[in-house]
Amino acid sequence: MDTHVHDRRRFLALAAGAAAAPLLTACGAGFGGNDDKSDGSAADDVTGSFDWKREKGTTVKALLNKHPYTDALIADLKSFTEKTGIKVEYDVFPEDNYFDKLTVDLSSGRASYDVFMLGAYMVWQYGPPNWLEDLGPWMRNSSATGAEWDQADFFPNLLQADQWSLKAGAPLGQGGQYALPWGWETNVVAYNTELFKKLGVKPAETFDELTELAGTIKRKAPGAGFDGMYGIAVRGSRSWATIHPGFMTMYARNGLKDFTVDGGKLTPAMNSPEAVAFTEDWARMVKRGGPPSWTSYTWYQCSSDLGAKKAGMLFDADTAAYFQAVKGASPASGKIAFHPGPKGPGGSLATNMWIWSLGMNAKSKKKSASWLFLQWATGKDHLRRSAIAHNHIDPVRKSVADDAAYKDKMRHLPGFLETFETVVDQTKIQFTPQAQFFDATTSWAAALQEIYGGKGAQSVLDGLADDLAGKVG
């Protein structure tokens, strides 16, 4: 009997040990993950003369976001395979899930995808844990990069937006090149010309005028034959994406900063007296002329409201208006014009931007082939074809922006080219680069919602600044 008990104990002890062994092993291994990182770049392995066919027969796996720019890329993939002999397999996810999918995939440390779409803000999150390949050595290696790629042809502010030293608060344009600009969006005001004509109004040149105009449209548009129309569509959902288009553009035009940087230490500045006053003004504008159910508004709703003649104006990405403005796209198509939007004090047209960039997985086993893909996707030929034959507008390359065929294509949209040319040099990332960007901006959007809901701006933004002070730095 004693032996039996002893046996059972021994068995349970062995079973527990067997169960715990992989647990402990996995725990140890779970944190490792970076042991195969080499000091040198894989770009150094590429030697000899440049050859598009160098990786013939290889397959590159891409993760893409559902977007008209993506459609243009997919439509032209055949030419890449013909040029290089490299096959591209891809998965496309809608934007709501895209970044979660990418984040989880990269954080797993596997090389499920060799290349992917990302924004400049994602560099701040994915760069510090070494998930992104530094493309600088690839760009500098003439064996890996063809002469026709022409780095100088990119708008400098776009190329710099994906360069960072990985140090919180350090300005962009220094350090590694963690992605390449591929397609971008500048934030402007688009408006319904039919409505403006009927009401006899003009685009606002100051923020006070914009607030007034938004209210006027909400009051008068229904009487002018635009039933249910409100003044201005701006994003309002509890997401980082609410802060970066119109709000951050106008915030920057007022000379305001998200953080101040002193000796590498970041201090939240969204509760400065000027920032509080501006935030109150923004919430007031939304209340007076913004969309109903604003707190759930993403760019999809903003864009479709402009197209459906539910919004008189849109202060968001130019592409959000463009896709409604093209012929046959919406009830408002042919009646949408573009304007740089209100100027800040002193005439500032500082504009925040979004860049759809392309990056490479640092764990990719096919870096050479992936680099050829990135080179082709951001090259002159593909981008020109995409801009002219498809809807890959807002060129990242000067040669495409200056191309006569591109200009001819865009000329029918009133104010589009003029607006683009007016703001292009003043458009840049207006946020301070730091790894907690998504936490900071999601909390900022929540604060904006609370102020819109009637809470005191100063106390809400003080709370936000206190919370963020402990997280960044």
Partner 1 sequence: MGWRLTLRPYLLIVPALLLTCGILYPFGLGLYYTLFDFSASKPQPDMVRFENYRAVFTQEAFWNSAWVTVLYAVGAALTETVLGVAVALLLYRSSLLGRVLEKILILPLMIAPVIAAIIWKLMLQPSVGVVNHLLKPFGLGGVQWTDTPTGALLSSIAVDVWVYTPFVAILALAGLRSLPTSPFEAAAVDGAGWWYTFRRLTLPMLWPYVLVAVIFRFMDSLKVFDIIYALTEGGPGDSTVVLQIRAYLEAIRFQRYSFGISYTIVLWAVVYLAAMVLVKHLGKIQRKAAEVTT
- Residues in contact with partner 1 by CB under 8 A are 4, 7, 11, 15, 19, 22-23, 26-27, 30-31, 33-34, 100, 103-104, 107, 125-126, 128-130, 228, 230, 237-239, 291-296, 310, 435-436, 438-439, 442, 445-447, 449-450, 452-453, 455, 467
Q: Cα–Cα distance between 47 and 44 in angstroms, integer?
A: 7
Q: Would you state the structure tokens that stand for residue 426, as one six-digit string?
A: 């003043």
DSSP string computed for 43-64: GGG--SS--TTTTTT-EEEEEE
Contact 440, 258 (CB under 8 A): yes
| Residue 251 to residue 244: CA distance in whole angstroms | 10
Closest to partner 1 by CB, 138 vs 294, is 294
Helix H segments across 221-292?
A: 240-243, 246-253, 273-289
Distance of closest approach, residue 292 Cβ to partner 1, in angstroms: 4
Q: How far is the CB of 14 from partner 1 (least distance, A)?
A: 11
Task: Return the CA Rg of the chain.
Answer: 25
Nearer to partner 1, 95 or 439 (CB): 439
> Cβ closer to partner 1: 307 or 379?
307
Closest separation in Å from C-beta 359 to partner 1: 15
* Residues in Cβ contact with 236 at an 8 Å cutoff, skipping those fewer than 6 apart: 242, 286, 290, 291, 294, 295, 296, 297, 445, 448, 449, 452
Q: How near is the Cβ of 108 to partner 1 at its closest, in Å? A: 12
Nearer to partner 1, 417 or 446 (CB): 446
Provide the minimum distance between the beta carbon of 449 and partner 1 in the complex, in angstroms, as a whole number.
Answer: 4
Q: Supply the minimum distance, in Å, between the C-beta of residue 267 and partner 1.
A: 19
Q: How far is the CB of 418 from partner 1 (least distance, A)?
A: 33
Q: How far is the CB of 251 from partner 1 (least distance, A)?
A: 19
- Which residue's CB is nearer to partner 1, number 74 or number 446? 446
**For partner 1, which is the closer residue by CB, 86 or 448?**
448
- CB of residue 34 vs partner 1: minimum separation in angstroms? 6
Nearer Cβ to partner 1 (186/279)? 279
Please state the separation of Cα 347 from the chain's center in Å.
Answer: 26
Q: In this complex, which beta carbon is closest to partner 1, that of residue 13 or of residue 26? A: 26
| Distance from C-alpha of 213 to C-alpha of 455, rounded to nearest angstrom | 25
Q: What is the DSSP string of 64-120?
A: EESSHHHHHHHHHHHHHHHHH--EEEEEEE-HHHHHHHHHHHHHTT--S-SEEEE-H
Which of 454-459's residues contact partners 24+ apart within 8 Å by CB, and which partners? 457/276, 457/279, 457/280, 457/283, 458/271, 458/276
One-letter amino acid at 201 equals V
Instruction: Give the shortest CB-446-to-partner 1 separation in angstroms.
Output: 5
Q: Smallest gap, in angstroms, from Cβ of residue 203 to partner 1?
A: 24
Long-range Cβ pairs for the range 80-83 (8 Å, 24+): 80/373, 80/376, 80/377, 80/382, 83/52, 83/376
CA 30/CA 53 separation, integer angstroms: 38
**309 to 234, 317, 449: CA distances (angstroms):** 15, 18, 25
Q: 199-213: buried (b, 16+ CB within 10 Å) or exposed (e) per residue?
A: bebebbeebeebbbb
* Residue pair 39/359 in contact by the 8 Å Cβ criterion: no
Nearer to partner 1, 167 or 385 (CB): 167
Smallest gap from Cβ 131 to partner 1, in A, equals 8
Give 86 or 132: the residue with its C-beta nearer to partner 1.
Answer: 132
Bridge partners (DSSP) of residue 91 are 63
Is 338 or 431 the residue whose CB approaches partner 1 more closely? 431
Among residues 290 and 342, whose Cβ is nearest to partner 1? 290
CA distance 161 to 179: 9
The two beta strands, 163-164 and 176-177, are: antiparallel
